[in-house]
Amino acid sequence: MVHVIARHRPGTQARGEDTRRRILETALEIFATEGYEGASTRQLAERADVNLPAIQYYFGSKEGLFRAVLESIIEHTERHMAPLDLRVKAALADPGTSREKLLELLCEMLKAFVSLVLGGTQIESRRLLFARSEVEDTPGLEQLHESGKRHVFAPCLALIARLTGRPADDLETELRALALMGQVTIFCHKGALDTRAPAEFTPERVRIIQGLVREHTLAIFRAVSFKAASLQ
Amino acid sequence: MVHVIARHRPGTQARGEDTRRRILETALEIFATEGYEGASTRQLAERADVNLPAIQYYFGSKEGLFRAVLESIIEHTERHMAPLDLRVKAALADPGTSREKLLELLCEMLKAFVSLVLGGTQIESRRLLFARSEVEDTPGLEQLHESGKRHVFAPCLALIARLTGRPADDLETELRALALMGQVTIFCHKGALDTRAPAEFTPERVRIIQGLVREHTLAIFRAVSFKAASLQ
DNA sequence: GACATAGTCTATCGACCGATATACATCCAC
DNA sequence: GTGGATGTATATCGGTCGATAGACTATGTC
C-alpha cells in the first residue's frame, strides 16, 4: 500500500478537487441510505459519475471514504452546537446562575439538538447516518458518538445535574439525560415517520417537535421535587 | 425451486425439531449483532453447529430464516403486551374513565414497553434487532414495525388523545406519543450504553428507567394545561 | 518539446457470498 | 426387511465484493 490518502500539497494543482467533493457528497447520501456494508464502491462510483478506482485514489479505501464522510458530519455538529455550548459552560461556571436560567438553557440545548438532526441541509442523509451510528459497527463510527456525547449529552447532563442537585456522574442523572434526549432521537428513525403518509420533516413539524420537547422539559423540572436522595 | 419451507405435516416424525430450534435461536443472536446483510449463512451454520444447507432445508432461504426470527419476536411482543392492551381498550371504551386512571394506564404502557425491550430472555438480541429494525431495510422488517405500532404506539396514542382532548389522528398528538416513547427507545441503542463502563441493563437499571419515565409522564400530563387548541 | 505529476480508464484478481446438486445416513410404516 | 420420507454431508456453482495493476490522457514546469 503506497498511496494511502491523496493529500494535495500546497502549490500543487488540484484539478481533482471537484471530483473529490462530488464523491464525498454522494457517499454521505449512499452510506446513509444503504449503510456501510450495503453501499458498494461500484454504486458509489456510478452515482458520483467517476470510475471505480477513483475512490481508492482520493480516499485510499472505502473505509477512508467513510471516515471522511463522518468527519464532515462531526464538523457540522460542532459548528452547529458551539455557540450554545459556550453559553452553557459560562452559566455552569457561575454558581449564581438561577434555576430558571439553567432550565431555559436545557430547553435550548434540546431545541438545538432537534434542529441538528432534523433540520439544515442534507437533513435526510445526516438523520439516517446518525440513526445507523447507534446500531452498526463500522470503523470510525465511535467518533460520531463521541462528538454527540461531547456537544449534546455532556452539556445536558451537567445542566440536569445542577437542576436536580445530584452529581453529574450519577447513574440516575445519566439515565434521565438520555431519556430526555430520546424524545429527540426517536425522530431519527424511519419507524417514527411512516405513521403518516408523507413521512417528511417539514419545518412546521420540526417546530412542533421543538415545542413539545420544551413543554415536556419545563413540566418535568418544574413539577418534580428533586434534592431527594432516591426516586421511588 | 421445489422445497420452499419444510413444514412438518402432523403425524410425521420431527427429528429435526431440535436442530430447527437451535438454528432459530442462534440466528436471532447473529442477526442482532451483525445485521441481516452482515450475517453470513456460513457463520450462522457454524455457530448453530449445522451444515450450510441445513438453513435452506429448514427455512427455505436466509430470508426465510430471518422472517422466522422476526415472527418469534412478534409473538413475544404480543404475549407481553396483550393483557395491558385489553385493559387499555376497556378503559377507553368507557367514557366515564377518570383522567387519573387513563394517566396511570399510560404510565403502565410505558413501563411495559421498557421491560419489553430491556428485560426478559435474550434481552440483548431483541434490543439490538429492534434498534436495527429502525434503520435497516430488510424484507419482513415492516412486520416488526407493525407489531410495535399496534401494541405500543396505538394504545399510547389513544390514551394521550383522551388526556389532551385532541383527536387521535392529530399530528401533534402523534408526535407527542413518539416523543414519550423515545424516552424508552433510546435505550435500545448502544450509544446509550457505553457512557458507563459495564454497559449492561441490570434489573436495577431497568427499574430506575421505569421510575424516571413514570415520573416524567406524570409531570407532563399533570402540569400542562391541555384542551387548548394550539401549543405555543 | 521533454518530463513529472495528477487524474482517469479498462481489465482483472482473490475472497466471500447465497444457493443447490447430489450422494449418503437414519428412521418409521407396512 | 424394504421402500419412502427425513435429515445431514461434501463439493461446487454463478455472482458480487473491495482492491489493484497497468495503460492512457491532461496539465504544469523547466
CB contact under 8 A, B189 and A132: no
CB contact under 8 A, B186 and A189: no
CB-strand contact B19/D, under 7 Å: yes
Q: What does the DSSP assignment read for B7-60?
A: PPPTTS--TTHHHHHHHHHHHHHHHHHHHHHHS-HHHHHHHTTS-THHHHHHHS
Query: What is the grid cell recorded at B21?
Result: 430450534
Distance (Å, whole) CA A200 – CA A3: 42
Residues of chain A contacting B185 with CB distance shorter than 8 Å: 182, 185-186, 189
Instruction: Classify each residue of B54-80 as buried b or exposed e, where b means 16 or more C-beta atoms within 10 Å of its C-beta.
Output: bbbbbbbebebbbbbbbebbbebbeeb
pLDDT at B225: 61
Residues of chain A contacting B195 with CB distance shorter than 8 Å: 149, 153, 174, 178
Question: Would you give the DSSP letter of residue B120?
Answer: S
Q: How many helices (H) and strands (E) does chain B have?
A: 10, 0
Q: Is B19 on the interface with A (CB under 8 A)?
A: no
Kindly report the number of other CB atoms within 10 A of residue A219's CB atom.
19
Nearest to B220 among A174, A186, A220 (CB): A220
Half-sphere exposure of A36 (CA within 13 A, CB side): 26
Asked if pLDDT for residue B227 goes beyond 60, the answer is: no
CB contact under 8 A, B187 and A190: no
Q: Using 50, 70 and 90 to split pLDDT, how confident is the model at A7?
A: very low
Mean pLDDT of chain A: 86
Nearest to A131 among B135, B194, B209 (CB): B135
Kindly report the number of other CB atoms within 10 A of residue B106's CB atom.
25
Q: Using 50, 70 and 90 to split pLDDT, how confident is the model at B223?
A: confident
Chain centroid, CA B206 distance in Å: 16
With a pLDDT cut of 70, the percent of chain A lying above it is 85
Amino acid found at B196? R
Residues B161-193: pLDDT tens digits? 999 999 989 999 999 999 999 999 999 887 666
Closest CA of chain B from A218, distance in Å: 8
Residues A109-141: pLDDT tens digits? 999 999 999 887 777 888 888 888 877 878 888
CB contact under 8 A, B183 and A184: no
Give the containing element (helix H, strand E) for B83: helix B62-93
Asked if pLDDT for residue B99 goes beyond 50, the answer is: yes
How far, in Å, is the CA of B48 from the C1' of nucleotide C19? Answer: 19
Q: Using 50, 70 and 90 to split pLDDT, how confident is the model at B194?
A: low
Protein-proximal positions, strand D, CB < 7 A = 5-12, 16-22, 27-28
Torsion angles phi and psi, residue A231, rounded to 5: -100, -50
| A230, closest residue in chain B (CA to CA) | B208
Q: How many helices (H) and strands (E) does chain A have?
A: 10, 0
pLDDT at B199: 53
Is residue A212 within 8 Å of B231, Cβ to Cβ?
yes
Is residue B138 within 8 Å of B36, Cβ to Cβ?
yes
- CB interface of B with A, residues 158-217, below 8 Å: 171-172, 174-176, 178-187, 189-192, 194-196, 205, 208-209, 211-213, 215-216
| B183, closest residue in chain A (CA to CA) | A179
pLDDT at A122: 79
Asked if pLDDT for residue B66 goes beyond 90, the answer is: yes
Nearest residue to A125 (alpha-carbon basis) of A196, A201, A52, A49: A201
pLDDT at A199: 53
Query: Which of A216, A217, A221, A224 is most worth mutating to test chain B (most B CB atoms within 10 A of its CB)?
Result: A216
Chain A 24-53 residues in 7 Å CB range of strand D: 39-43, 52-53
Nearest residue to A223 (alpha-carbon basis) of B24, B219, B211, B63: B219
CB neighbours of A29 closer than 8 A, spacing ≥ 6?
A: A47, A122, A125
Range from A9-23, A158-172, B1-15, B194-208 carrying the lowest mean pLDDT: B1-15
Residues A38-61: pLDDT tens digits? 899 999 999 999 999 999 999 999
pLDDT at B229: 40
Is residue B31 within 8 Å of B42, Cβ to Cβ?
no
Instruction: Classify each residue of A135-149 as buried b or exposed e, where b means 16 or more C-beta atoms within 10 Å of its C-beta.
Output: bbebebbeebbebbe
What does the pLDDT average to over B15-28? 88
Asked if pLDDT for residue A33 goes beyond 80, the answer is: yes
Residues of chain A contacting B133 with CB distance shorter than 8 Å: 191
- Cell numbers 451537567 label which residue? A158
Report the predicted TM-score, pTM, of the whole model to 2 decimal places. 0.87
How far, in Å, is the CA of A17 from the C1' of nucleotide D19? Answer: 23
Residues A196-219: pLDDT tens digits? 544 578 899 999 999 999 999 999
What does the pLDDT average to over B97-112? 97
Kindly report the number of other CB atoms within 10 A of residue A87's CB atom.
13
Amino acid found at B106? L
CB-strand contact B41/C, under 7 Å: yes
Is residue B199 within 8 Å of A218, Cβ to Cβ?
no
How far, in Å, is the CA of A51 from the C1' of nucleotide D25? Answer: 15
| A224, closest residue in chain B (CA to CA) | B219
Residues A158-191: pLDDT tens digits? 999 999 999 989 999 999 999 999 999 999 887 6
Amino acid found at A102? L
Amino acid found at A24? L
Is residue A75 within 8 Å of A82, Cβ to Cβ?
no
Q: Using DSSP, state whether B217 is helix, strand or coil.
A: helix
Kindly report the number of other CB atoms within 10 A of residue A92's CB atom.
17
Asked if pLDDT for residue B159 goes beyond 90, the answer is: yes
Asked if pLDDT for residue B9 goes beyond 60, the answer is: no
CB neighbours of B77 closer than 8 A, spacing ≥ 6?
A: B116, B147, B148, B151
Q: What does the DSSP assignment read for A65-87?
A: HHHHHHHHHHHHHHHHHHHHHHH
Distance (Å, whole) CA A113 – CA B52: 46
CB-strand contact B69/C, under 7 Å: no
More confident residue, B129 or A229: B129
